[in-house]
Amino acid sequence: MENQTQATNQIYLDNAASAPILKEVVEVMSDSMLNFHGNPSAIHQAGRKSKSIIEKARKNIAKHFNAQASEIIFNSGGTEGDSQILINAVENLGVTKIISSKIEHHAVLNTLLHLKKKHEFLDLEWVVVDEDGGIDYDHLATLLANTESKTLVSLMTVNNEIGNMLDLEKVSKLCKDYHAYFHTDAVQAVGHFNIDVEKTPIDFLVASSHKFHGPRGVGFVYIKKGIPVDPILFGGSQEKGVRPGTENVAGIIGMEKALEISMNSLEDHAFKVLELKKHLIGELNVLGDFKFNGKSGSLEESSYTILSVRFPVENSLLLFELDLKGIAASGGSACQSGSTKGSHVLGEILSPEEASKTSIRFSLSKLNTKDEIDHLVKIIAQVLKK
């Protein structure tokens, strides 16, 4: 069983923000830092050794997606990956229309708004989402059918706040039928679900290591072979010129190990975490009148890792009180946890009255236990009685 490196007195339920790094991952990273100290761009033996293990990691990571090694580019994570793909689409590929949704991660939304401000010709269109945050695929088809512009569709595989899952096959087929590029932020999906880019044609896919128990600050983008990508950083020819800068050797090796562990035990871990989510839903239903945001309460239509819970009352200090009791969770996206604006996702799909109620995202991992879930429910009951 993998070991986590977190405090034993805390119940950690914010894995969608950052999952605890595994002991096995730390070990391979430590070994790489001690034994592979050469710059991968150097031509001497030490540099060639570092370059060799990076290329081995690239090949192994690509295999998990039925991709070619040359289609994997290492970077710092999801935000950088989303930014590069979207900027490249407009400034290099000639895309003049981007179709997305208003419940995407801010790494996508803020980049789109930046591009719109910079390029007046860019047309942004938003696909309709229902009250559960589900994508209206008929509307997506209509938007694609009603354009002759060069188009890119950007929709996330798993919503980071409410866990809704995109029908990748349906969207990829629509994009293929209408000759549009397809970019997906798969940060919450990689390491938790199987994605085959041959079976499900995707042009651009973005992943972050720390969402599947790897190190923070490292990730990768999948870029379909034959699609040109310009760098957004300059200064070197690393990563085929797509992402200049000395590679994070230890981070890449750690990410490779974390993904290997996740994918090799995917079914067992998915079953375990799904049982924990099912148990939490059942206990909350007994405890009170809780609602589950989006489709997170569905065991079939949402990620098994995420449960977004809307409490019966508004309590702005609830998340803080849980923290004092040793429960780590999130009010939504961790990137926005310090914001007073609230969740843009919940604001988009809920009525103002429902959106004003307190919502907390509990995100589970294979390291959590049933005893932790039982303790969480006990703490929630205590806090609500105050």
- The answer to whether 161 and 106 are in contact (CB under 8 A) is no
Length of the chain: 386
Spatial separation of the C-alpha atoms in residues 134 and 171, rounded to whole Å: 13
Spatial separation of the C-alpha atoms in residues 248 and 168, rounded to whole Å: 30
- The answer to whether 133 and 295 are in contact (CB under 8 A) is yes
CB atoms within 10 A of CB 226: 7
- The answer to whether 20 and 5 are in contact (CB under 8 A) is yes
Spatial separation of the C-alpha atoms in residues 193 and 177, rounded to whole Å: 25
Joined together, the tokens standing for residue 238 give 């690393």
User: Mind giving me the DSSP string for 232-284?
Assistant: SS-S--TGGGTS-S---HHHHHHHHHHHHHHHHTHHHHHHHHHHHHHHHHHHH
Helix spans in 265-338 (H): 266-287, 318-324
Active site residue 175: no
Residue 170, class by beta-carbon neighbours within 10 Å (0-12 exposed, 13-18 middle, 19+ buried)? middle
Spatial separation of the C-alpha atoms in residues 282 and 298, rounded to whole Å: 12
User: Measured in whole angstroms, how far is the alpha carbon of residue 202 from the centre of its chain?
Assistant: 16
Joined together, the tokens standing for residue 188 give 């919450």
Spatial separation of the C-alpha atoms in residues 42 and 271, rounded to whole Å: 45
Instruction: Please pick, among 232, 266, 335, 377, the residue that the annotation labels catalytic.
Output: 335
- Catalytic positions, written as ranges: 335
